[in-house]
C-alpha cells in the first residue's frame, strides 16, 4: 500500500482538483490532472489496491449507504475507507456517493460527483490506531459494501463493524481522539472522531460538537434548520456562495452545487475544522463528524466562509 501524507485533503469541482497536505496546509494547490484520470493524488493512493484486488494480506473496510434504502432502518450518511497492510494503513472519509468502486479506479460520472464540489480526506495511520477508530465507527453502524479481514483482524471490533453489529456500549455518543502517522513529527495531525448511535436523542451539532469544543459553529451544510441560537453556543448556517482560492484561481462554489459539509469554530482560542456528511436538522440519525484542530486548515475555511452569507442570531 502507498504511504500517504499524514493529512491529505482534496476539494474537487467539475473534475478540477485542489489539495492540502500536512507539508503544505497553508494554501490550496491546484493539481494539473483531473480527478477522473491517473497520476493524481487520489488515484495514486488507491492504485496499489486496484493492482491487487485479491491480495489476502490487505485489510479492506469500505462503507457507504448512499445507494441503499432499508425501511424503518435509519442509516448513517458517513462514507469512507479503512485499508492497508504491513504497518502501512490509511483512513479516508469523503462526501462522494458510490466511491470508490470495487474493481477499478473511476471517479463516478453522476451529476453530483462531476458537477458538484466534493471533499476527500486521507490520513495515514499506525496499526495501533485502527481499533479505537473502528470502535468509534461502530456507533454509527455504517453500511460496509467491501470487506476483507486478514487473520490478524478477524476479531472484534473489526468483525462487528463489517457484520453491522451495533456497539454494545451503553453510551450513545463517543469521542475518539487519534493521531496520524507522520513522515516527520511536525506533520502529525490530531483528529477527533465524534460518532452517535441512532437511538441518541442529541443533535450532533448543537448538543455534541459545540459543547465539546466550547464554541459556536459556522456550518456549511444543507441545513433544514435555519439556525440555532439557544444556550451558550449557536449554530449559524453559511449559505449562498463561497470562494476557494488557489493562487490566481478563484473557484466559486454555491451551497446547491456542493456535496460536502463542514463546520468551523468561531471562538478565537479554538481553531477546529470538522468534516461531516450530516446536515443540521431535527432528524435524528446515526451520524458522525471528523474534526481537526489546526490553525492553517481552519484559516483556509474561515477565509472561504467570509465570502459567503452568514445568518445572524
Q: What is the mean pLDDT of each run of 10 residues along the chain (313 residues)?
A: 53 81 83 92 93 95 86 86 94 95 94 92 95 97 96 97 92 96 84 93 93 97 81 93 89 92 95 95 87 94 95 88
Question: pTM value?
Answer: 0.94
User: Is the dihedral angle over the CA atoms 136, 217, 78, 246 positive or is it negative?
Assistant: negative
Work out whether strand 59-63 and strand 80-85 pair parallel, antiparallel, or are unpaired: antiparallel
Asked if residues 182 and 23 have their Cβ atoms less than 8 Å apart, the reply is no
Residue 23 has a pLDDT of: 76
Residue 224 burial (10 A CB sphere; 0-12, 13-18, 19+): exposed
Among residues 267, 268, 252, 250, which one has the least CA distance to residue 308?
A: 252
Residue 3 has a pLDDT of: 44
Residue 127 has a pLDDT of: 96
Q: What is the pLDDT of residues 76-130, one digit of tens each?
A: 999 999 999 998 999 999 999 999 999 999 999 999 999 999 999 999 999 999 9
Residue 1 has a pLDDT of: 40
Amino acid at each position: 500500500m502507498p504511504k500517504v501524507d499524514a493529512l491529505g485533503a482534496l476539494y474537487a469541482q467539475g473534475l478540477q482538483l485542489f489539495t492540502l497536505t500536512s507539508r503544505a496546509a497553508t494554501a490550496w494547490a491546484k493539481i494539473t490532472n483531473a480527478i477522473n484520470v491517473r497520476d493524481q493524488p487520489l488515484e495514486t493512493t488507491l492504485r496499489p489496491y486496484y493492482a491487487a484486488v485479491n491480495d489476502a494480506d490487505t485489510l479492506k473496510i469500505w462503507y457507504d449507504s448512499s445507494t441503499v434504502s432499508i425501511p424503518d432502518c435509519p442509516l448513517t450518511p458517513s462514507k469512507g475507507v479503512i485499508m492497508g497492510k504491513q504497518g502501512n494503513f490509511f483512513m479516508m472519509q469523503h462526501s462522494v456517493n458510490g466511491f470508490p468502486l470495487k474493481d477499478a479506479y473511476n471517479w463516478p460520472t453522476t451529476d453530483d460527483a462531476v458537477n458538484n464540489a466534493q471533499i476527500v480526506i486521507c490520513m495515514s495511520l499506525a496499526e495501533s490506531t485502527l481499533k479505537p477508530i473502528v470502535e468509534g465507527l461502530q456507533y454509527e453502524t455504517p453500511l460496509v459494501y467491501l470487506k476483507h479481514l486478514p487473520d490478524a483482524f478477524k476479531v472484534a471490533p473489526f468483525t462487528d463493524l463489517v457484520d453491522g453489529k451495533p456497539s454494545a456500549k451503553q453510551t450513545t455518543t463517543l469521542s475518539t481522539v487519534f493521531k496520524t502517522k507522520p513522515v516527520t513529527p511536525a506533520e502529525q495531525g490530531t483528529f477527533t472522531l465524534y460518532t452517535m448511535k441512532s437511538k441518541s436523542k442529541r443533535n450532533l451539532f448543537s448538543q455534541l460538537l459545540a459543547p465539546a469544543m466550547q464554541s459556536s459553529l459556522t456550518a456549511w451544510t444543507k441545513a433544514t434548520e435555519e439556525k440555532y441560537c439557544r444556550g451558550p453556543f449557536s449554530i449559524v448556517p453559511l449559505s449562498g456562495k463561497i470562494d476557494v482560492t488557489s493562487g490566481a484561481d478563484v473557484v466559486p462554489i454555491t451551497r446547491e452545487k456542493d456535496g460536502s459539509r463542514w463546520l468551523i469554530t468561531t471562538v478565537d482560542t479554538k481553531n477546529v475544522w470538522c468534516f461531516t456528511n450530516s446536515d443540521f436538522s431535527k432528524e435524528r440519525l446515526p451520524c458522525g463528524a471528523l474534526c481537526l484542530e489546526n490553525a492553517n486548515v481552519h484559516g483556509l475555511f474561515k477565509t472561504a466562509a467570509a465570502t459567503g452569507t452568514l445568518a445572524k442570531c
